[in-house]
Structure 1
Amino acid sequence: MLNALLSFYPETELSQEHGLVVFPSNAQLALRAHGMADTTLRRHLAALVDCGLIIRRDSPNGKRYACRGRGGDIHEAFGFSLAPLLARAEEFEQAAERVQAENRALRLARQRITLHRRDIHKLIEAARQEDISGPWDALWTRFRAIVTEIPRRAVLADLEPIAARLAALREEIDKLLESHVNAGNTGGSESQNGRQQSNSESESLNEYKFILGNELNEKPVLVQRSGNPSRACPSAYPLELVLRAFPEFADYATAGIKNWRDLMATAVQVRGYLGISPSAYDDASRVLGPENAAIAIACIAQRAQHIQSAGAYLRSLTQKARAGAFSMEPMIMAALKANGTAPRMTR
């Protein structure tokens, strides 16, 4: 009904200069409201008045009309005043921002739950197939009990505790798998421990390969190593280009992404949503550099539906970068091409 009333305003923006009173008849309003019944129309108009969105400006005889001069200008009009909309514009903008923030938080909570559900299911299934010792049946029972509590139509207050419980369960499973990987890392000498640690890293990567499938079969791209051997390459990509490649990543930021610090702060937040352990992200930051690690998180978040284990995928990229066989450029260019906005890269 409010849209129908606004359609009778002659300008595109409300302004005191052009007057704020519209004066359609009920018949005209009914047509603009897609044939609304007269009783329903009156009820909706009364509701708008009660909410303080419009004000009745009645004429002496109760009809709606405008008094015009010889030039056709309106001197006085009787009908419905839209002045409250103009006076409360800031209030409505703030309310709209709150609704958008709540919807964004709800969407992120649902996404966190979806990612945790997928990863927990895959990890327990993989552990069973590999005959890894652990209370997998009990963990599966707990997992299904949490999942059955997810309501079909939920508010943020319903989803946050469920997401937290799934995150705790995921962390427990990760610890069991890490303890299994590190079970053989015991020995007498320091050199033996070093060799076993190296072997365990390779074993850990191999253990996750069957989870990732073809995601690890990308053709490596050799890059020139910088002077610091612990970093594969410093960030050399404009932030604007990165945001164009991964536009959905900005939705995770609480106040937008205006600089590299915002991007890295958002990456730390999204890392938890994706189920990537702090150690995996810290390792990627040391090898790739904090900026490139944030770009990698943005890529993983955008391709989350195609990556079965975000943590293992990031570790794989880190291993390739440590060996000098990984570059961010193909990843960014592929994302730009997928978005239909692939420019020529200038380095």
Structure 2
Amino acid sequence: MTEHLATTPFGRRPMTLGMISSQLAAKKEKSETVIVHKWHVFQHIKEARQVLGATDRALAILHALLSFHPETALQGDSELIVWPSNEQLMARANGMPPTTLRRHLAILVDCGLIIRRDSPNGKRFARKGRGGEIEQAYGFDLAPIVARAEEYKSLAEAVQAEKKAFRVAKERLTILRRDIVKMVEAGIDEGVPADWRRFQQTYQDIAVRIPRTAPRQILESIGGEMEKLWRDIRELLESFTKTQNMDANESHSGRHIQNSNPDSHSESEEGPPKKIEAGGKVAATDNLRSLPKRELPLGIVLDACPEMRWLMKDGEIRHWRDFLAAAELARPMLGISPSAWCEAREVLGEQQAAITLAAIYQKSDQISSAGGYLRSLTERAKDGKFSVWPMVMALLRAKLDASKPPATQSGRDSAEPQKTAQGGGLQPSDQLRTPLSRWQK
């Protein structure tokens, strides 16, 4: 076989410096005895295809070209030219169209994965001697597969290392986000003194900058900010835990959760203030049993809890679904954890839990720990010792009492409702007269 081989492409295809570089690398390896497993090298090329600039279809064509070489082990000083026709290549490339085939063959050449060895007329063929040995072949030279085998292996290892680093950065960021959310919830639930709203806002400011698809460097940068926030919260919780013993924890919980004693008397829970006697528990239970069984009308609830209207964009709550949406907005403002809110909805029902939360929001300036208060009411509801009727009626009564002029004589107290009606003060609607008259007796 003659030593000279065509080095320029046939037809209008131009010659590039990249082609010359690939030919030089292949010529260098020709003088060395290098043996590689062609499918192992192909696997390395697949893993590093993005770095090399190869497409999936280009690799499908390269796989077909390698299949035309009869040997699995490719040697640097052996003949590595294959000359399949376009029809044969299309058949082995799963029926790829001719135009697509030519386009991705050019990509393989540009990436330096193969070298064109074009004949004078551009046809691919092999000329054999009398003994059947190949004297001259025109087609695609697979020499770069052998010449750059170590380079492809190094690129594949680098790509795998980058994928692993990306996966580790993503997992680290996910774990940090989960830890921060749960630690903030624990701090709120346990009543740890801290500016938890600031921590939540800082977390949101960092989390909102995470793009849907991000390179490893961005994930690591955001992960560093998350880790700093995580460390601040962790140190705060650990410091609080070390300085509290069991008795101190119970005392702390008692200071921050109002009315945590199921047997204690609360104006918002038991209705009008009344003297608690020895049989207070039985009286409270009988009082709850005597309450109306129907649901509270939305109008009465809004009269008792007008602050809920300000949470809506237009200041209007027309349906229960609007009221429930307002309750979802009020919950984080009160510092009530998702777990406490979920438990309240399970025990009280979604509508009753929303009414309870609205009452807490209405008198939030009187409650030191809204989350603890809600949990206390939820526990009482489990024992059948809590209803939203007394809570709402107490708010309505306080609203009416605030609108009355101060009484000059104690004997005129009974005449106050009539005087209020005549004096133009706050007038109870017809809808409220019946329940209010019952609670004023």
Length-normalised TM-score, structure 1: 0.51
How big is the shift at 1:114? Answer: 0.9
Correspondent of 2:171 among 82, 86, 111: 111
Please say if 1:100 is aligned against 2:160.
yes
What's the counterpart of residue 76 of structure 1? 136
Are 1:130 and 2:195 matched, yes or no?
A: no
Partner residue in 1 for 2:114: 54
1:138: Cα distance to partner?
A: 1.1
Which residue does 1:4 correspond to in 2?
64
1:40-94 deviation per Cα after TM superposition (whole angstroms, max 9, x unaligned): 1111111221222211112233211223456654343210001112111111111
What letter corresponds to residue 148 of structure 1 in structure 2?
V
Q: 1:71 to 1:133 in 2, by over 3 A?
A: farther
- Counterpart of 1:132 in structure 2: which amino acid? V
The one-letter code sitting in structure 1 at the alignment partner of 2:120 is P
Q: How far did residue 18 of structure 1 move?
A: 4.6
* Residue identity matched to 1:43: R
Match of 2:203 in 1: 143
Structure 1 gaps, min length 5 = 185-195, 204-347
The total of aligned residue pairs comes to 188
CA distance in 2, matches of 1:81, 1:154: 39
User: What is the aligned partner in structure 2 of residue 153 from structure 1?
Assistant: 213
Counterpart of 2:102 (choices 18, 23, 42) is: 42
Q: Are 1:15 and 2:75 matched, yes or no?
A: yes
Identify the residue that residue 178 of structure 1 maps to in structure 2: 238
Give matches, 1:117-266, under 5 Å: 117-184=177-244
Q: Which residue of 1 aligns with 2:127?
A: 67
Instruction: Provide the residue aligned with 2:353 in structure 1.
Output: none
CA shift, 1:158, in A, is 1.1
Inter-partner Cα distance in structure 2 for 1:43 and 1:131? 67
Q: Is the partner of 2:91 in helix, strand or coil? A: helix
Counterpart residue identity of residue 151, structure 1: P
- Give distance in 2, aligned partners of 1:87 and 1:64: 23
SS in structure 1 opposite 2:243?
Answer: helix
CA–CA separation in structure 2 for the residues paired with 1:38 and 1:50: 19
Distance across 2 between alignment mates of 1:12 and 1:53: 17
Displacement of 1:118 after TM fit?
Answer: 1.2
**Secondary structure at 1:67's aligned position in 2?**
strand
How far, CA to CA, are the matches of 1:53 and 1:124 in structure 2? 55
Letter in 2 for 1:160: E
Stretches of structure 2 that go unaligned for 5 or more consecutive residues are 1-60, 250-441
Counterpart Cα distance in 1 of 2:76 and 2:126: 16
- Counterpart of 2:93 in structure 1 is 33
- Deviations for 1:24-55, whole angstroms, at most 9, x for unmatched residues? 10111111222211111111111221222211
Q: How far 1:182 sits from its partner (Å)?
A: 2.3
Separation of aligned partners in 2, 1:51 and 1:100: 20
> Does structure 1 conserve the Cα–Cα contact (< 8 Å) formed by 2:76 and 2:147?
no
- What SS does structure 1 have at the residue aligned with 2:121? coil
Query: What is the CA-CA distance between 1:124 and the residue it aligns to?
Result: 0.9
Alpha-carbon distance in structure 2 between the residues aligned to 1:48 and 1:137: 57
Amino acid at match of 1:41: L
User: For residue 53 of structure 1, what is the amino acid of its counterpart?
Assistant: L
Q: Report the secondary structure of 1:35's partner residue.
A: coil
Identity in percent: 52
Deviations 1:85-132, CA, capped at 9 Å, x for gaps: 211111111111111111111000001001111111111111111111
Query: What's the CA shift for 1:154?
Result: 1.0
Which whole-Å deviations, capped at 9, do the CAs of 1:1-28 have from their partners, x for residues lacking one?
Answer: 2222222121223223552111110111
